[in-house]
Amino acid sequence: MRLSVAERREELLRAAIGQIEARGVAAVRIADVAAVLGVSNALVLYHFSTKENLVAAAFARAAEDDLARLRALLG
């Protein structure tokens, strides 16, 4: 089944977050994120253009997730 653009982007962000958590920002490459999902580097770059854009989006998503968890805890 083919993923929608939004679903693919979400999948890429999750993979990037996992790689950043495991290896650190400096060590993570576009190729690492692509390899986790078995997709091409070109697909990652299609969605994010640069590593910097991917990292920024990953940090933004992680912050959103953390904020949602905090709000849930605080009720």
Residues 6 or more apart whose Cβ sits within 8 Å of residue 51? 28, 29, 30
pLDDT band at 66 (very low <50, low <70, confident <90, very high): very high
pLDDT band at 6 (very low <50, low <70, confident <90, very high): very high
Residues 6 or more apart whose Cβ sits within 8 Å of residue 11? 3, 37
Fold for the domain defined by 5-74: Tetracycline Repressor; domain 2 (1.10.357)
pLDDT band at 1 (very low <50, low <70, confident <90, very high): confident
Q: What percent of the chain has pLDDT over 90?
A: 96
For residue 75, pLDDT beyond 90: no
- DSSP SS3 for 22: helix
Predicted local confidence at residue 16, as pLDDT: 98
